[in-house]
């Protein structure tokens, strides 16, 4: 907080606080999010996020959609983890119906979820570099992400809003080219990932912009409900894939990436390592996709038994919880999504205080907000 002292030594002996709007249309907010900053000079005194610019009331819409239709709405929450969101809804429906899906479905879902995670982290890596001023990273990240998008497009029929999961399995069987393409991607990406480190991670300017900036302690991460890579960078072990394994995560071997520094650079590092781990998971599964059905038959109209159901999954940003209250009808009585973005945003005021406006951009970048996920 030395900077604050310097500012109070103003010639007139005092400074005045003032407000500034960051967003709703601002390149660093990655969507329509408005941050109301209270500043003293360039030092941040307070950050008030103002949400709702892209609110579509998805939770309300679920109350008159059938369970099959709800799946495709979740594509539009965290659009970079669309497949994982779909999976969460399907898992909660399957849990309520006590449906055991075939192994083939579990494995394919896991592979696609990890591909989604890599694609999401790749986009994040590109825009983080760009937010901090390194434009090249964006091009490199999109080059590799394009390969995943092609896999998704060939196998699921869409690049972002896949809607490939249906309650009880998958919409179609995997495409004949799927395994070959995924293997080609792994081979390609393994040569590119070290390049990312050389290009950005070790760069002196990037290090100076990120190290020691926006420190989040483990206690604060827990009390604010921060999850995902942002919490793991502070040393909070919170990976749902480890804690409550779903799909095929119990049959693969992978490490939960933890860091203890809790600063912007630690959050960056955790995500880079997570991409390696995701590659490792896919490698274990891609040659061992079990034979079997890609779907179990469900009734045309799915009705969940009366009761409450909850399922957590790990998206690229953290913990997504789906809570369903069913009264036995074909639509849920209430459906609540606990989205990782919303909880992670709540900590931004706490983390950004005392740093400069330019640091806020770096902090925002490594929390990796997806605004439709925050607003829903």
Give contact residues for other proteins (rule: CB under 8 A): 65, 68-69, 72-73, 136, 143, 146, 150, 153-158, 161, 163, 166, 171-172, 175, 195, 198-200, 202-205, 207
Rounded CA separation 232/153 (Å): 31
Cβ nearer to other proteins, comparing 196 with 224: 196
Q: How far apart are the first and last CA of the chain?
A: 36
Cβ nearer to other proteins, comparing 26 with 181: 181
Rounded CA separation 214/11 (Å): 30
Cβ nearer to other proteins, comparing 143 with 306: 143
Q: How far is the CB of 31 from other proteins (least distance, A)?
A: 19
One-character DSSP codes across 52-79: -TT---HHHHGGGS-HHHHHHHHTTTSG
Rounded CA separation 10/354 (Å): 18
Cβ nearer to other proteins, comparing 129 with 262: 129
91 within 8 A of 232, measured Cβ to Cβ: no
Cβ nearer to other proteins, comparing 144 with 375: 144
Q: How far is the CB of 137 from other proteins (least distance, A)?
A: 10
Residue 317: count other Cβ atoms within 10 Å of its Cβ: 28
Q: How far is the CB of 72 from other proteins (least distance, A)?
A: 4
Cβ nearer to other proteins, comparing 15 with 142: 142
Map residue 116 onto helix, strand or coil: helix
Q: How far is the CB of 109 from other proteins (least distance, A)?
A: 17
Q: How far is the CB of 175 from other proteins (least distance, A)?
A: 7
Q: How far is the CB of 218 from other proteins (least distance, A)?
A: 29
Rounded CA separation 54/375 (Å): 6
**Could you check whether the bond before residue 24 is cis, i.e. omega within 30 degrees of 0?**
yes
């Amino acid at each position: 907080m030395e900077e604050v002292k310097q500012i109070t030594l103003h010639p007139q002996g005092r400074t005045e606080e003032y407000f500034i709007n960051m967003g709703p249309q601002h390149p660093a907010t990655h969507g329509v999010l408005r941050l109301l900053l209270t500043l003293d000079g360039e030092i941040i005194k307070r950050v008030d996020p103002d949400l709702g610019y892209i609110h579509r009331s998805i939770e309300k819409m679920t109350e008159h959609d059938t369970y099959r239709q709800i799946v495709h709405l979740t594509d539009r929450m965290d659009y970079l983890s669309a497949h994982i969101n779909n999976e969460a809804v399907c898992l909660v429906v399957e849990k309520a119906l006590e449906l055991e899906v075939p192994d083939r479905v579990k494995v394919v879902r896991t592979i696609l979820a990890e591909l989604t995670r890599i694609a999401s982290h790749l986009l994040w890596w590109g825009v983080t570099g760009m937010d901090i001023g390194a434009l090249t990273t964006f091009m490199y990240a999109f080059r590799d992400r394009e390969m995943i998008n092609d896999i998704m497009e060939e196998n699921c029929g869409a690049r972002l809003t896949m809607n490939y999961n249906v309650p009880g399995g998958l919409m179609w069987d995997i495409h004949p080219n799927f395994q070959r393409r995924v293997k080609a991607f792994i081979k390609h990406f393994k040569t590119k990932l070290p390049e990312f480190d050389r290009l950005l991670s070790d760069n002196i300017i990037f290090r100076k912009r990120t190290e020691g900036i926006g420190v989040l302690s483990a206690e604060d991460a827990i009390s604010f409900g921060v999850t995902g890579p942002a919490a793991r960078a502070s040393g909070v072990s919170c990976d749902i894939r480890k804690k409550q394994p779903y799909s095929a995560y119990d049959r693969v071997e992978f490490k939960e990436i933890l860091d203890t520094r809790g600063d912007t650079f630690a959050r960056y590092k955790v995500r880079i390592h997570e991409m390696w781990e995701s590659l490792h998971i896919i490698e274990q599964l891609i040659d061992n996709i079990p034979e079997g059905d890609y779907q179990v038959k469900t009734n045309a109209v799915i009705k969940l038994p009366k009761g409450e159901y909850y399922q957590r999954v790990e998206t690229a940003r953290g913990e997504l919880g789906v809570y369903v209250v069913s009264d036995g009808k074909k639509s849920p009585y209430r459906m609540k999504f606990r989205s990782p973005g919303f909880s992670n945003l709540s900590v931004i005021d706490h983390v950004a205080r005392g740093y400069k406006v330019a640091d806020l951009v770096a902090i925002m970048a490594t929390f990796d907000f997806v605004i439709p996920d925050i607003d829903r």
